[in-house]
Amino acid sequence: MTIKEICERFRICGDYTACTQINNGIINKSYLVTYRCDGQERKYLVQRINRAVFRRPDKIMQNVVGVTEFIRAKMLAQGIDPERRVLKYAETADRKNYVLDSEGNYWRLYNFIDDSVVYDEATDAEIIEQVGKAFGEFQNYLSDYDAGSLYVSIPNFHNTRRRYDLFYEAVMVDAEDRAGKVKREIDLCRSHETLATKLSIMAENKEIPLHVTHNDTKSNNVIFDREEKKALAVIDLDTVMPGLVAYDFGDAARFICSDAPEDELDLSKVKFNLEKFRALTKGFVGALKGRLTPIETDTLALGVYTMTVELAVRFLTDYLNGDTYFSTNYPGHNLDRAKCQLALADSVYGKLDAMREIVREYAK
Ligand SMILES: Nc1ncnc2c1ncn2[C@@H]1O[C@H](COP(=O)(O)OP(=O)(O)O)[C@@H](O)[C@H]1O
Ligand SMILES: [Mg+2]
């Protein structure tokens, strides 16, 4: 099917006029399409859902439509114009939010937020604060959404306890005969185990409430107004699942507040930056003021440490398994990534008290 044919299955006003591919994302294929409706130009984004990653795109669509319509209703009730603030998925004639093409691919169509920009890397404090605010507001809008009603697209995604079990299995099997070379890294992972598995055990014991989490809180999943440097909307919602606020916050901080890329070779450069953390916390926690329970507030900093160690363990597990999950650019790439996350985990660990203090300051 052509993009035009796909578009025509959705119920949208006017005539199709143009289409260009957007090459930014890495998971889904995206196209910008233009329509003319009552003499006015309208822009939409048409996106093919990655079937290799998501087995049940129909269920994913139920999740994303559920949460975006929930947010939209709240915005309308608050007198906020939702047009550029939340995604709106078009429907087909038979009231579905996707089109299934002849090759078995799922497509969706939603509002393109024009005059906007995304930041692949956020280094400026103002931008970091806005990214934090966008994800914090997302959490805030969904704080009373029934997280249990969501389809779990990736089971055990942040079950750190289980990630460790898989890691030990990989060490034992040692499929590529690599474990002997990475004894030091294996021991380092082991040394983090007790503290890094604390959150997932608390979650399992229902000591911390489950909420809707985004699970991909990178800076380029927040759309900004091009002129104003103000965050408009959170996008890339395919991984919304039940989880802990600390997961979203922790993963955002892990990614944004590190001064080095995820595969930095010079480990002396890998440091957790408290100034960036302050900016992110100001935005995120500020947006959730009064919504967080005391235990959630207490565990946000631990979330950063947990997400960092968890990723180190996953990189090292994949290295031991022969690089079957993460795509790599060279042999040993996953090992370098694991070393880098372990260095970051050390830096985070040394700053946990200061981080807790910063969180408390903005939670007041
Ligand atoms: N509604 C939108 N309006 C404007 N640009 C968008 C919109 N949705 C996505 N984009 C652009 O397309 C890119 C990829 O979209 P995204 O949904 O994040 O897919 P991926 O899963 O591939 O990262 C984004 O980084 C952004 O630049
Ligand atoms: Mg994205």
Residue 215 and residue 239 in one domain: yes
C-beta 33 within 6 A of ligand 1: no
Report whether residue 221 contacts ligand 1, using a CB cutoff of 6 Å: yes
Q: Are residues 134 and 209 in the same domain?
A: yes
Same-domain check for residues 48 and 94:
yes
Decide: 25 in ligand 1 pocket, CB within 6 A.
yes
259 belongs to a structural domain? yes
Domain identity same for 257 and 348: yes
| Domain-embedded: residue 142 | yes
Ligand closest to Cα of 28 equals 1
Pairing of strands 106-111, 99-100: antiparallel
State in Å: Cα 152 to ligand 2 middle. Answer: 19
> 45 CB under 6 A from ligand 1?
yes
The last residue of one of the domains, among 51, 83, 114, is 114
Which residue ranges of the chain lie beneath pLDDT 50? none
Q: Is the CB of 52 under 6 A from ligand 1?
A: no
Report which ligand 1 atom has the smallest distance to the Cα of 27.
22
Q: Decide if 15 is inside a domain.
A: yes
Pocket test for ligand 1, best of 87, 235, 240 (most atoms within 8 A of CB): 235
Q: What is the pLDDT of residues 253-300, one digit of tens each?
A: 999 999 999 999 999 999 999 999 999 999 999 999 889 999 999 999
- Please tell me whether residues 171 and 316 are part of one structural domain: yes
Structure tokens at 295: 């235990």
Domain-located, residue 120: no
164 and 79 co-located in one domain: no
Q: Whose CA is nearest to atom 9 of ligand 1?
A: 235
Q: Which domain holds residue 21?
A: 3-114
Same domain, 81 and 188: no
Of the ligands numbered here, which is closest to the C-alpha atom of 30? 1
The model's pTM: 0.95
* Residues 258/272, Cβ–Cβ less than 8 Å: yes
Contact 118 CB / ligand 1 (< 6 Å): yes
In a domain, 223, yes or no: yes
pLDDT of residue 101: 92
Domain assignment present for residue 119? The answer is no
Within this chain, do residues 151 and 99 fall inside the same structural domain, yes or no? no
Residue 113 to residue 57: CA distance in whole angstroms: 23
Does 145 map to a domain?
Answer: yes
Ligand 1 atom 1: the closest Cα is on which residue? 112
User: Looking at the structure, do residues 176 and 288 belong to the same domain, yes or no?
Assistant: yes
Point out the domain boundary residue: 71, 86, 114.
114
Please give the pLDDT value at position 52: 81
| Distance (Å) from CA 186 to ligand 2 centroid | 31
Domain of 76: which CATH number?
3.30.200.20
> Is the same domain home to 337 and 357?
yes
What's the 58 CA to ligand 1 centre distance in angstroms? Answer: 19
Q: Please report, for the domain that includes residue 221, its CATH number.
A: 3.90.1200.10
Show which of 79, 114, 149 is a domain's final residue.
114
Ligand 1 lined by 50 (C-beta under 6 Å)? no
Phi, psi of 41 (to 5 degrees): -85, 135
Ligand 1: residue of 26, 223, 255 to mutate (most ligand atoms within 8 A of CB) is 223
Count of domains in the chain?
Answer: 2
Same domain flag for 156 and 200: yes
Examine the domain organization and report whether 244 and 180 are in the same domain. Answer: yes
Residue 82, domain member (yes or no): yes
